[in-house]
Amino acid sequence: MTLVSSTPLLQTARSGGYCIGAFNVHTLEMLQAVVEAAEETQSPLIIQSTVGTVKHLGPDYIAKAALVASERSSVPIALHLDHCSDFNVIMQCIRAGYTSVMIDASHETFDVNVAKTKQVVEAANAIGVNVEAELGRVGGVEDDIIVDDEHALLADPDDCARFVELTGVHTLAPAIGTAHGIYKGEPNIDFDRIQKIASKVSIPLVLHGGSGIPEEQVRRCVAAGMSKMNVATELRIVFSNAIKEVFNQNPEENDPRKYMVPAKEALKKAAIEKMRLCGSFGKARDYLQ
């Protein structure tokens, strides 16, 4: 099947009380690995790329590769642009075939965030592309977006309701205590806040910073109302470590078709584990019915 918008996937996840894994990929093998994980577990899937990866590979290469994966696959797949503050890059990705985009104006004032999000929603609505926005500020490092602890800010539930009303955005990433990158200790997640936001906002909510959240906390986030979980850092580490291991064992190896194989397998295994935590096994059928 062709790539689908993430909106119906996430709405179905929200009403079904589970989460969909959204995985950042940077190479063809990473993309194939998460697709194989989705296929094997019959999970709906969101493939993501950051702006850095869009610049590295080209949005058309990424969109075409995701399209081929989707056409060969029996599960619904959306292609999402992660954290983008540049309207032109967003439009470039939509034109290339992305079915979901994030406008991240969380570093701006509430009113500017509303205005920028609205502009993207209007353009995206014309072609059925999902738009995600962020309220509050998720801490940590994602690509070249760096938010230190001092500037991280939790989202206010009433602001979330107002923001959704004013922008018509399809999915919302409220900052609730998770952070991008690897946690130093346990994440300090405000589960009550997730519940409050979910009670005021009917659109699907997005959990950022999915790397390293303990199993029990992921489950509580999903139970409290999160419908999409973004995972980047952990997958990159697993993939790179597997390649390092090959070179440790055999420093003479020089065939990417060989050293990418264990990396792909390791990433697939890690993605399957995240899908299990999300509760998305077998849920592809929800969307296909």
Nearest distance, CB of residue 264 and ligand 13P, angstroms:
19
Residue 22 C-beta: closest distance to ligand 13P, Å? 8
Closer of 37 and 259 to ligand 13P (Cβ) = 37
- Can you tell me which of 139, 209, 225, 279 binds ligand 13P, judged by CB under 6 A? 209
Nearer to ligand 13P, 7 or 106 (CB): 106
Can residue 100 be called a binding residue for ligand 13P (CB under 6 A)?
A: no
Listed as own residue / partner, the contacts of 118-125 with beta carbons closer than 8 Å and 24 or more positions apart are: 118/166, 118/167, 118/168, 119/87, 120/87, 120/90, 121/167, 121/168, 121/169, 121/170, 123/90, 123/91, 123/94, 124/94, 125/168
Contacts of 215 (CB under 8 A, 6+ apart): 277
Which residues from 228-287 bind ligand 13P, rule CB under 6 A? Answer: 230-234
Shortest approach of ligand 13P to residue 50 CB, angstroms?
7
Q: How far apart are CB 137 and ligand 13P at their closest, in Å?
A: 13
Identity of residue 2? T
Residues 6+ apart with CB under 8 A from 120: 87, 90, 101, 103, 131
* Minimum distance, C-beta of residue 26 to ligand 13P, in the bound complex (Å): 12
Q: Which stretch binds ligand 13P (CB under 6 A): 36-44, 194-202, 214-222, 225-233?
A: 225-233
CA-closest candidate to residue 63, choices 73, 52, 48, 76:
48
Contact 87, 100 (CB under 8 A): no
Q: Does residue 180 belong to the site contacting ligand 13P (CB under 6 A)?
A: yes
Contact 95, 61 (CB under 8 A): no
Q: State both tokens at 63.
A: 């969109």
Strand duo 45-49 + 20-24: pairing:
parallel
What would the x/- binding string for ligand 13P be over residues 14 to 53, using CB under 6 A? Answer: ----------x-----------------------------
Instruction: Clarify whether 82 is annotated catalytic.
Output: yes
**What does the DSSP assignment read for 91-133?**
HHHHHHT-SEEEE--TTS-HHHHHHHHHHHHHHHHTTT-EEEE
Part of the chain binding ligand 13P (CB under 6 A), chosen from 37-45, 70-78, 120-128, 204-212:
204-212
Nearer to ligand 13P, 18 or 23 (CB): 23
Q: Which is nearer to ligand 13P, 230 or 259 (CB)?
A: 230
- Count of residues making up the chain: 289
Counting runs of H as helices and runs of E as strands, what totals does the chain give? 12, 11
Q: Applying CB under 6 A, which part among 52-60, 123-131, 152-160, 205-213 lies near ligand 13P?
A: 205-213
Taking the C-alpha atoms of residue 16 and residue 159, their distance in angstroms, rounded to an integer, is: 26
Q: Which of 59, 210, 225, 279 binds ligand 13P (CB under 6 A)?
A: 210
Residues belonging to the active site: 82
**Which residues sit at the interface with ligand 13P, rule CB under 6 A?**
24, 82-83, 142, 180-181, 208-211, 230-234
